[in-house]
């Protein structure tokens, strides 16, 4: 049996957009940072549930009815322990416990990450999601496009109307995102302006920030006006921050 961890990710439709999802990027960064051997299995959205059931990966929530199990990626299957693990943060915990070199959660920080995650999700992820949800559709293969567009339309309404270019409500979302990232930047400054939020080495909190940034970069395009705007916020902090993760960005196509 292969000793490689199997990492399940959702593909984009081109080499440039193959890896796009922020949650799966969190685990790709984590695996690469830890130097673990793995291979990627690419799974389109409509096939996630059947794949998870086949390998014994647990559901990560329930559907709108509050009863039906809901399956999501990322998921890993580790043949060394015959274990399937779902949910990005749960996977990160598993990787630290099973492969404790280069910890994602430095000693004594696991509870602090929970607080960071809750606040960051509110002030950064919420506006960013609305700004990139429609562009995300356009990087997907047709089968996943149909699923993603339909499910997100049910959640948000017509996606073309969520954040149209030049609209006042779009600029309001940008203002919220900029304020959230400025707040996040203040946490780095309070820490002595270190390269990462926990010091000189990345933690899972840093990986989570990078996952969101690379998502925007991929779905908007690295030469786009929107990515340039985000990249240059806070004196260019976020482009420089993401550049630090280039060494952990390998994607097996």
- What pLDDT does residue 2 have? 65
The pLDDT profile of the chain, 253 residues, written as one tens digit per residue, is 468 999 999 999 999 999 999 999 999 999 999 999 999 999 999 999 999 999 999 999 999 899 999 999 999 999 999 999 999 999 999 999 999 999 999 999 999 999 999 999 999 999 999 999 999 999 999 999 999 999 999 999 999 999 999 999 999 999 999 999 999 999 999 989 899 998 999 999 999 999 999 999 999 999 999 999 999 999 999 999 999 999 999 999 7
- Residue ending a domain, choose from 98, 124, 156: 98
User: Is residue 105, in this structure, part of any structural domain at all?
Assistant: no
| Total count of domains within the chain | 2
Do 64 and 114 share a domain, yes or no? no
Do 243 and 128 share a domain, yes or no? yes
- Residue ending a domain, choose from 66, 98, 130: 98
- What pLDDT does residue 253 have? 79
User: Is residue 134, in this structure, part of any structural domain at all?
Assistant: yes
Q: Are strands 69-70 and 75-78 parallel, antiparallel or unpaired?
A: unpaired
In the Cβ-directed half-sphere of 195, how many Cα atoms lie within 13 Å? 10
Do 70 and 132 share a domain, yes or no? no
- Residue ending a domain, choose from 98, 127, 158: 98
Q: List the beta strands (DSSP E) in the chain.
A: 5-9, 38-42, 61-62, 69-70, 75-78, 83-86
Cα 111 from Cα 102, distance rounded (Å): 18
114: containing domain = 110-248
- What pLDDT does residue 174 have? 98
User: Is residue 167, in this structure, part of any structural domain at all?
Assistant: yes
Q: What is the CATH number of the domain that holds 148?
A: 1.20.1050.10
Do 178 and 243 share a domain, yes or no? yes
Do 120 and 17 share a domain, yes or no? no
User: Is residue 103, in this structure, part of any structural domain at all?
Assistant: no
- What pLDDT does residue 227 have? 98
Q: What is the CATH number of the domain that holds 10?
A: 3.40.30.10
- What pLDDT does residue 123 have? 98
Do 164 and 191 share a domain, yes or no? yes
């Amino acid at each position: 049996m292969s000793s490689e961890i199997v990492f399940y990710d959702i593909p984009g439709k081109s080499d440039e957009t193959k890896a796009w999802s922020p949650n799966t990027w969190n685990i790709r960064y984590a695996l690469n940072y830890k130097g673990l051997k793995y291979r990627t299995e690419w799974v389109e959205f409509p096939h996630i549930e059947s794949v998870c059931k086949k390998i014994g990966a647990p559901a990560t929530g329930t559907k709108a009815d509050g009863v039906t199990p809901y399956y999501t990626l990322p998921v890993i299957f580790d043949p060394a322990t015959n274990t399937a693990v779902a949910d990005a943060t749960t996977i990160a915990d598993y990787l630290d416990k099973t492969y404790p070199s280069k910890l994602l959660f430095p000693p004594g920080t696991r509870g602090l990450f929970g607080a960071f995650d809750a606040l960051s999700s509110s002030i950064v992820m919420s506006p960013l999601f609305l700004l990139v949800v429609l562009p995300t559709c356009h990087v997907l293969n047709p089968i996943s496009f149909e699923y993603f567009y339909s499910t997100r339309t049910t959640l948000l309404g017509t996606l073309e109307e969520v954040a149209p270019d030049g609209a006042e409500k779009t600029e309001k979302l940008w203002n919220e995102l900029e304020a959230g990232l400025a707040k996040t930047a203040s946490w780095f400054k309070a820490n002595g302006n270190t390269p990462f939020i926990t010091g000189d080495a990345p933690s899972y909190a840093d990986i989570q920030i990078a996952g969101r940034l690379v998502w925007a970069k991929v779905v908007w395009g690295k030469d786009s006006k929107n990515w340039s705007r985000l990249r240059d916020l806070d004196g260019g902090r976020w482009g420089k921050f993401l550049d630090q993760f280039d060494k952990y960005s390998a994607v097996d196509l």
